[in-house]
Structure 1
Amino acid sequence: MASTLQANGHENAYIFPAHRIVHRMRDESKTPVVLVACGSFSPVTYLHLRMFEMARDYIKQQTQFEVVGGYLSPVNDQYKKPGLLSATHRVNMCTLATELTSNWLMVDPWEGFQPKYQPTAVVLDHFDHEVNEVLGGIETRSGERKRARIMLLAGSDLINTMSEPGVWSPTDLDRILGRYGTFIIERAGSDVDQAMESLAPWRDNIFLVRQTIQNDVSSTKVRLFLKRGMSVRYLLPNPVVDYIEANGLYLDDGPNAGAAGPTYVTTSASSQEQEASGSLSQMAS
């Protein structure tokens, strides 16, 4: 199903990115799962990407799920978070990071280019529709098709906000944690156990993934480094660092913080790496 997305004042045909979805399961006794991380990604860091790898390891070793896809969904500009670049820049950086450094992660620009901010529950509904209704779910070796479980991937700070009264709509919470569920990556300084007590009704749908190697890299720290003229190499994928430098991003809190930037990078199943590399070269010129 194609629709249109708005970027830089121009309409772009939208096609749900599915070029890395596993269309046939290896073990049909399991439940297919698609991991979705919603966030600012301003900029995307190695920790954002590492979260997917940690969750996939946990799923393989401790659950009856089988990962068939992973998505980054950059938040809409109307989120109005400090340091939030335009969706165009953030989608571009996420696309470069996934297409050039991963063989299974994808970026869905739908949320970022909607006319207004979309609640997380609505974003998960969007993925559920695209994967299970439009694509028809995931095929098993016997030819049967199974509905994929769409699940939110997030850091433990999210669970803390979910446990605070009045921060999240009760209806949205029940949809996110009741219908879909979440994998939570442990982060230093977050009291997950206390938060989990407040979310007891959905305990069976919340999976906590412990960090065995601590990583506290954050987009906030990266932006501070860049503003001070310090190097951020090896904190972010190199293509993202190159993109930031080529476009003069995060130098201050002024126009660069919300500049529209170049047309967003698109990818296809047959030539995603070449297109992403070509787009980066064009943007740098």
Structure 2
Amino acid sequence: MHSTLTTDLSILYENLNETTSTNNENVVLIKTGAFNPIHRAHISNMIKTKEYLECVHGFRVIGGYLSPSHDQYVQAKLDEEFISGHHRIRMCEEAIKEANQQYWLSVDKAEIMAPQLISLLKVTLSLQMFINEMLKLKRPIRVIYVAGLDLFNDCHGMKGMQQSSWNGVAVVYRSGEQEDLIKSMHSLTSEKLYYVRDDSPDNQTEGLNQISSTQIRQMMKNEQSCEHLTYSSVLNYLKIISI
């Protein structure tokens, strides 16, 4: 499924070359989703996960991919509010640039270009296989799936994502979501399951946890300002395609 046509590996090569040799394990992040449209929390969660894995677990995150979901899934879910895949890809690219994260974040097109809907597990394992086949490092690169706490709960702990020796799941806290499952599983499978939760009182990104693409679409229909929810480049693009 993944190939050089769907996945840009240049950020991985560049970050591997620029980083001094260490014993830290190399990691790549992937986050799937409709991104209909992408918003600030999507990228914020990737940044928080990168910082957490590097500071707490000693990983070296050499890249991250936003993987917009297949049109079949998004259209069935959102009906007339569905935004075509090529537009969602473009908005993700614009958001990454505006957030100044293009040195490590990229958009993966494998899901959208697939002939049919692909599961989260297959997308992650396919990316992992492709990266390791292309880079051929002595130590395989671990691919970690980034999920919000809401998705983790809806998928009953995402146990399938933790079966491979070279992957895992990083769960980002979302206020209002139950923590019983993540806390019970985290204590048992801490080597494959990472809980990204900022408990500091001065956490400036807490408000981002409440953002949703649904909220943005509704506010745009009501001609309300959305600059605090997503990026100016995304809003400008949405106006051009006139959703």
Asked if Structure 1 and Structure 2 have the same fold, meaning a TM-score greater than 0.5 normalized by the shorter chain, the answer is yes
- 1:185 positional shift: 0.7
Measure, in 2, the Cα distance between the counterparts of 1:177 and 1:191. 21
- Cα distance 1:59–1:219, how it changes in 2: closer, same or farther (>3 A)? same
Which of these residues, 218, 226, 237, is aligned with residue 220 of structure 2?
Answer: 226
Which of these residues, 81, 84, 88, is aligned with residue 77 of structure 2?
Answer: 81
- More helix as a share of residues: 2
Residues 225-258 of structure 1: CA deviation (Å, up to 9, x unaligned) = 1121212123212111110011112xxxxxxxxx
2:22 aligned counterpart, secondary structure:
coil
- Cα distance 1:100–1:146, how it changes in 2: closer, same or farther (>3 A)? farther
- 1:222 positional shift: 0.7
User: Counterpart in 2 of 1:91?
Assistant: 89
2:112 aligned counterpart, secondary structure:
coil
- Cα distance 1:183–1:136, how it changes in 2: closer, same or farther (>3 A)? same
Residues 50-102 of structure 1: CA deviation (Å, up to 9, x unaligned) = 01111111112100211010110000011122243211111111111113432
- What residue identity is the alignment partner of 2:7? F
Measure, in 1, the Cα distance between the counterparts of 2:110 and 2:97. 17
Work out whether residues 178 and 202 of structure 1, in 8 Å CA contact, stay in contact via their aligned partners in 2. no
- 1:200 positional shift: 6.9
- What residue identity is the alignment partner of 1:232? C
Alignment of 1:131-150 (within 5 A): 131-137=131-137, 145-150=138-143
Alignment of 1:134-173 (within 5 A): 134-137=134-137, 145-163=138-156, 173=159
1:125 paired to 2:118 = no
Residues 137-188 of structure 1: CA deviation (Å, up to 9, x unaligned) = 4xxxxxxx43110000111012111227xxx7xxxx32x1222211111001
Measure, in 2, the Cα distance between the counterparts of 1:195 and 1:57. 20
1:181 aligned counterpart, secondary structure:
strand
Identity %: 26
- What residue identity is the alignment partner of 2:233? P
TM score, norm. by length of structure 2: 0.84
User: Counterpart in 1 of 2:7?
Assistant: 16
Query: Mind listing any 5+ residue stretches in structure 2 that lack a counterpart?
Result: none
Superposed CA RMSD in Å reads 2.3
Work out whether residues 159 and 192 of structure 1, in 8 Å CA contact, stay in contact via their aligned partners in 2. no
1:31 paired to 2:25 = yes
Measure, in 1, the Cα distance between the counterparts of 2:190 and 2:57. 15
Query: Mind listing any 5+ residue stretches in structure 1 that lack a counterpart?
Result: 4-12, 138-144, 250-285
- 1:194 positional shift: 3.2
Measure, in 2, the Cα distance between the counterparts of 1:92 and 1:122. 24
TM score, norm. by length of structure 1: 0.72
